Copies of this chain bind each other. A is one copy, B any other.
Amino acid sequence: MFKCEGFRRRRKAERPGEILDAAFEAFAERGYAATRLEDVAARAGVTKGTIYVYFPTKEKLFEDMVRSHSAGLLSDADTLVAGIEGASGEKLRSLLHFLYGRCVEDRRGREILRFMIAEGKNFPQLVAEHYRDFVVPLLSMVSALLEQGVATGQFRADLCRETVRIVIAPTLFLGVLRLIFGDAPPVDEEAYVDAHIDLTLNGLLANPLGA
């Protein structure tokens, strides 16, 4: 009996998370407006009413879902960068690989990007948070890495502030391609990543191509 209670209690504690997961799938598949709360409920294995126990409106459910799924996307990036030994080029390579993992391979990251593009206009608060919690940290991370490379003479000294965005642009753009063309976009992703790093480094290095 109390086994059941325990089970019940555990279920109860997990309900919000299950609903958020279901909401992610549903919203990602059809978009905010076209998603019915009943779809979310069915996916979560509950009924419509239950959603309202935890989330007051559809909008709030969407916002909480985006927050819960975008949180932690960059959580271990710092330690990753810090832990890498080697030249700045190697560090950048590692960071870009990490980024590809989080923004392209990981469905969560990709779909968050879609939410920003597709629904951002109706959820400006969400965009602001995303900028603060994801864009800014990411940019400063790459920025620091570039500056370090400049300081050590491995990178050209004349890099400007926007260079950092150029460096990561192909990464996120591959995410966009996946969003548009599905899981099998007309891209050789491995070659794409190699070309990206190669082009970026040979453009960045103070003395490229062994000159």
Contact = CB atoms under 8 A, between A and B. Distances in A.
A170 B153 CA distance: 25
Interface in A154-210: 154-157, 159-163, 165-167, 169-170, 172-174, 176-177, 179-181, 186-188, 191-192, 194-196, 198-209
Interface of A: 29-34, 89, 92, 114, 116-122, 127, 131, 135, 146, 149, 153-157, 159-163, 165-167, 169-170, 172-174, 176-177, 179-181, 186-188, 191-192, 194-196, 198-209, 211
A174 B173 CA distance: 10
A162 B187 contact: yes
Given A92-B204, A154-B206, A166-B199, 15 more contacts: A31-B122, A32-B34, A120-B180, A127-B180, A127-B181, A162-B187, A166-B170, A166-B192, A166-B196, A166-B200, A202-B208, A203-B204, A203-B205, A203-B208, A209-B211
A209 B203 CA distance: 9
Contacts of A202: 156, 202-205, 208-209
B205 A188 contact: no
Contacts of A179: 117, 120
A192 B206 contact: no
A68 B89 CA distance: 45
Contacts of A155: 204-206
A205 B150 CA distance: 9
Contact of A186 (B89, B131, B188, B201): B131
Contacts of A170: 165-166, 169-170, 173
A151 B162 CA distance: 31
A204 B211 contact: no
Nearest to A196: B166
B209 A206 contact: yes
